[in-house]
Amino acid sequence: MPDSTGPAPRRRTVLAGGAVGVGALGLRVGADRATAAPSRPAARRARVFRHGVASGDPLPDAVVLWTRVTPTPGSTPGSGRGPSVEVVWEVATDPRFRRVVRRGRVRTGPSRDHTVKVDATGLRPATDYYYRFRLDGQASRTGRTRTAPAPQASPDHLRFGVVSCANLQAGFFSAYRGLAAREDLHAIVHLGDYLYEYGPGEYGMGADNVDVRRHVPDHEMVSLADYRQRHAQYKQDPDLQDAHARYAWIVTWDDHEVTNDQWRGGAENHTPGTGEGGEGDYRRRRARAHRAYDEWMPVRLDGTAALGDGARLFRRLRFGTLLEISMLDLRTYRDQQVATPAVDPAVGDPDRTITGARQMAWLKDSLSRDHRPQWKVIGNPVMIAPVTFADLPDALVQPVNDVTGLLPGDGAPYNVDQWDGYTADRREVLTHLDDHQVKDTVFLTGDIHSAWACELPLDTSTYPVVGDSLGVEFVCTSVTSNNLKDITGTPPDTTSTLVEQVILANNRHIKYLDFDDHGFSVLDVTPARAQMDWYVIGARDDRDTAITWSVSFATAAGTSRIEQVDAPVGGDA
């Protein structure tokens, strides 16, 4: 790997050839299918199974399977209408279903919005399977999924697509098209903001909020019917359908699955009360959002695929001895964000939390050296690396606060909605890594609509002269949601480049960031290293836009340091 001070990242290198390059060569599985005249059986299937199929949370012997049926024309999402029906599901080892290994039946109806979610068990580890659903003689499209390796297996590598922040109003989901066109992934990790709550005209593309596509329903999501309809709209996107049908997904939520900047008792984008402009009780609204998420996503809430009122989303998924993914929920248990971030010492108050006590204990157990796989990957909805200004050494913060009471720990943060607003929790995690000498920890993060590669020291003010990095963080760009370039309306590599330079100068642990682009990432993990490749799309309002490789960074095993790599991974797994 070249030294990190080497040539600047090549942001616009167009992909060529192989499984990795098919997106750039114009393969548009979903777009082509949507525009081609369907056959009569396909048209009938589309009427019954119009929201596609999906799988998720792969275990060595099981995987969650999902679909939604429309048994009658009036059984539309969120309507509460339609009959109760019995749906057949099948799992096979071949795409023509000549070797069916598991089959079952499940009832669904308006009480669960006609969604179907089952745990297909009794499967073999590290095996590709094909699945489908049947209702009244109609079969869904065929999905493909893959189980995790056996607990004691030693894979030579694992490869995951990584995405977050997909706002349908801000553009087409070309990033999902790029992932669906690949043949070399083991699963896709979605780090939150799978959908957005806003109504048309409230949050679209660019500074003018242009709606490339308009949300349904045509207002902000508040009711259970609203959340169900919005999930249904997203699930009808052809590129998203293709990505779900091609790979198992491992998901968590951030804030927009409920509403912007939510915390355990409220949200920035929630108006309590029942009067004019009121949106009711926040906890009831969140319960509706969580119920719709449970219905519409291929995920095990509370450890089960059975639908219910459970909302525990943090969980672990093991992939042999090489890797374990721990998916966090950083909204349900957090305290409210501080109001004046630059001067509020409450960001470091140990009584304030972003994880909650139960999840913090669980996370520290996930970051154990003795009984966990080699690589500890943390699915982290909001950024953990400090991004600060005027950072003083730790030894000086308390003496200054004894006089002024103004300085937060770890410098003045620029975004207190992430771990920068809850520095005591962050310090507890990093201290745990330091005290227990835990190696090979990778935080995989979304939320911030930009690309970052960061090292994680305990004290950023003296790093790297004093102290070690205790882990690394790779942050993926947004699928479509506005970044700095979009918000300011300035050309690429202008205002954003200036801001990037200022942040890099004030934060020596940050090795790379990109405020200009949208797209997806690929995380490839071997016993020797973990590498993140960033891919970017062109114009968000162009369904056929090109997809290009941007840059790659890697961390060698045992180092917790980041270096730039001159090529992405590729080829079949």
Find, among 489, 421, 479, the residue nearest to 446 by Cα.
479
Report pLDDT digits (tens) over 113-131.
999 999 999 999 999 999 9
| CA atoms of 570 and 554, how far apart (whole Å) | 15
Amino acid in position 192: G
In the chain, what is the greatest distance between 2 CA atoms, to the nearest angstrom?
Answer: 77
Q: Which of the pair, 143 or 46, is modelled with greater confidence?
A: 143
pLDDT of residue 7 exceeding 50: no
Compute how many other C-beta atoms are within 10 angstroms of the C-beta atom of residue 399: 11
Q: Which backbone phi and psi does 571 adopt, to 5 degrees?
A: 95, 170
Report pLDDT digits (tens) over 246-273.
999 999 999 999 999 999 999 999 999 9
| pTM attached to this predicted model | 0.90
Residue with tokens 């942050």: 475
Q: Sketch the domain layout of the chain as residue ranges.
A: 13-37+148-565, 46-147
Q: Which of the pair, 29 or 194, is modelled with greater confidence?
A: 194
Of 174-183, 309-318, 448-457, the least confident: 309-318
C-alpha distances (whole Å) from 65 to each of 165, 185, 450, 565 are: 23, 18, 31, 37
| CA atoms of 533 and 455, how far apart (whole Å) | 16
Most confident region among 26-40, 44-58, 405-419 by mean pLDDT: 44-58
* Predicted pLDDT of residue 2: 34
pLDDT of residue 95 exceeding 90: yes
* Predicted pLDDT of residue 389: 63
Of 103-107, 305-309, 389-393, the least confident: 389-393
Of 66-80, 369-383, 411-425, the least confident: 411-425
| CA atoms of 215 and 149, how far apart (whole Å) | 39
**Which CATH fold topology does 46-147 show?**
Immunoglobulin-like (2.60.40)
| CA atoms of 29 and 397, how far apart (whole Å) | 55
Confidence tier at 43 by pLDDT (50, 70, 90): low
* Predicted pLDDT of residue 78: 98
Amino acid in position 379: G
Find, among 135, 151, 199, 175, the residue nearest to 28 by Cα.
175
The single-letter DSSP state of residue 17 is: S
Residue pair 294/287 in contact (Cβ under 8 Å)? The answer is no
13-37+148-565 CATH pick, 3.40.50.300, 3.60.21.70, 3.40.50.620, 3.40.47.10: 3.60.21.70
Residue pair 565/531 in contact (Cβ under 8 Å)? The answer is yes
Mean pLDDT (the chain) is: 89
* Predicted pLDDT of residue 257: 98
Percent of the chain exceeding pLDDT 90 equals 77
Confidence tier at 223 by pLDDT (50, 70, 90): very high
